[in-house]
Amino acid sequence: MQPPRLVFADLIADAFRHVTSNGRLLLDIALVPTIISVGLQLAGRLLSGERMEPLEAMAVKLFDFIPTAMFAVAWHRLVLLGPGALGGTPGFAWTARERGYLRQLLLIAAVPIILHALFWMVMPWPMEMPNAGPLPPDVEAAMPLGLAFTVTAIIALRLSFGLVAPSLDLAWTPHLSWRYGKGNGPIVLFALLLMMVIGLIVKAVATAILLTIALGLFGGPLSLGPWLLVQVIAETIAYVSIAPLVTVQALIFRALTGWSPGTPLRQPPA
């Protein structure tokens, strides 16, 4: 069976159309996950101080997959089933869908997560690169780990549209993501990569602007109150900024599998 043909421009345009036309629901869906994410950031600050080490920040990010799952499952269902499928404010219940999302996420992301952790265990911190001459031994030893992390992260991103399946109560494996993506691999990867990069840039720029304003108003280092205000706004922007990525995942899943409510999936390409 020939795979359907994805159109890059249509995926991107449809993703932003879904996000802009559901702005109010987007903020509603992001509310509880934002609160949980800010709570995790607060716990990290209280335990580690104002500046967390890379491995400490990574540990906080691992726990942050929990509110991310809440957000992604709700947004997938909104995109594919409409507002009536939400059934209340996301985050007040933890169901098999969120558990399935986390399971799929760990299946495709466990290797890059481990490699990322090993990279920061080997890489000296704070990182100091020489202006000239050979690289320090620790930095030189960390480079292959950084390269391996990059390669495995790209593969995980290519498979990530399968994260939609648990949101629709479907059994799934990463192998199925690979099979359904045959013939459309570059478009799947570049569409998801573009959305991820846009989200990262938006979050980074917004956070930098917020910190600049907060430091100008309150001085540095920020006390707990202003810091919390910055974190609430920054985390809200972070969830809004990943909405296009999550939308593209849903659109790719529907296009490649032929999913619609109550009908079986089409057979994957041979």
139-143, 214-218, 229-233 — which is least confidently predicted? Answer: 139-143
Question: Which contiguous run of DSSP H or E holds residue 42?
Answer: helix 23-48
Task: Among 3-7, 54-58, 62-66, 195-199, name the one with the lowest average pLDDT.
Answer: 54-58
Average pLDDT value for the chain = 88
Q: CA–CA separation, 10 vs 55, rounded Å? A: 39
Q: For Cα atoms 200, 203, 207, give the angle at the middle one, nearest 5 degrees.
A: 140
Residue pLDDT, tens place only, 10-44: 999 999 999 999 999 999 999 999 999 999 988 88
Q: Identify the pLDDT of residue 126.
A: 61
**Angle of helix 54-81 versus helix 23-48 axis, rounded to 10:** 160
Lowest mean pLDDT among 37-51, 116-130, 139-153, 178-192: 116-130
Tokens 């159309």 belong to residue: 17
Tokens of 70: 């809440």
pTM of the predicted protein model: 0.89
Whose tokens are 């917004």? That residue is: 206
Task: Name the pLDDT band for 129 (thresholds 50, 70, 90).
Answer: low
Query: Which pLDDT does position 166 carry in this prediction?
Result: 96
